Amino acid sequence: MGDERWRELRREPIHSAYGRGADRVTFEMPDGREEVYHLANEYAAAAVVALTPDRRILLTRQFRPGPQAVLYELPGGVVDAGESPEHAAARELAEETGYRGDVRLVTATWHDAYSNGVRYACVATDCTPTARLAHDRNEFIEVVLMDLAEFRSTVLRRGLLSDVGPAYLGLDHLGLL
C-alpha cells in the first residue's frame, strides 16, 4: 500500500515563523473517508558527527526552548537554498565550534512522520581548531570535546542528545558503534 491511495484535497496554512510552519491538510483516505492532519513545514537541516584526529567527538551544549533543558547536540543547522548538505554541515561546524574537517554526507532522514523537513546526517574527520566562532544572536553555545566511549555511554544512550538519529547513522558509517 503506497501513497498513490492517499489524495490531498485541501491545504490551509495555520502558522509560520522562524523558517517553520504548520498546515492543516485534508486527505482522502484509501477507503474514501476524509481525514485532517496537522503537518509541519520545516527547513532542511544538517547535523555532523565530527571527530578530532585523536577520535574525540565535538559537541555543542546549550539550552533548548522546546524541552526547556540544556542538551548536547551535534554541530549543525539549516541548509540554505542552493547549498549542499556537506557545505552546510562544514559551515555550521566552523561557526558553532571553530573546527574544520573532512565532511562527507552519510544519508538523509525525515524529521518525523508529520513533517516535510529533511535532516542530513554527515560525518567529519580530522577536525582541527582553525575557524573563528560565529554564533547566531540567539545561540549561547558551549563547545564540548568528549571521548567517544563516554559519548556513547553517557550522552547518546541516556537520551541527552537532540540528534540521536544522525549520531547513530554517523557512528555506524564510521564503524564506531
For residue 38, the model assigns a pLDDT of 94
pTM of the prediction? 0.88
For residue 2, the model assigns a pLDDT of 56
Least confident window among 1-5, 119-123, 149-153, 172-176 = 1-5
CA angle 39, 64, 90 (to 5 degrees): 85
For residue 97, the model assigns a pLDDT of 95
Distance CA 12, CA 10 (A): 7
pLDDT at residue 3 is higher than 60: no
Query: What are the chain's domains?
Result: 3-41 (no CATH), 45-173 (3.90.79.10)
Strands 20-28 and 76-78: unpaired
pLDDT digits (tens, 9 = 90+) for 109-145: 998 999 999 999 999 999 999 867 776 777 778 999 9
**Residue 136 φ then ψ, to 5°:** -65, 165
**CA torsion sign, 159 to 72 to 138 to 92?**
negative
pLDDT digits (tens, 9 = 90+) for 9-56: 999 999 888 778 899 999 999 999 999 999 998 999 999 999 999 999
Confidence band (pLDDT; 50, 70, 90) for 1?
A: very low
Q: Give the count of beta carbons closer than 10 Å to the beta carbon of residue 42.
A: 19
Q: For residue 23, what are the β-bridge partners?
A: 13, 39
pLDDT digits (tens, 9 = 90+) for 71-92: 999 999 999 999 999 999 999 9
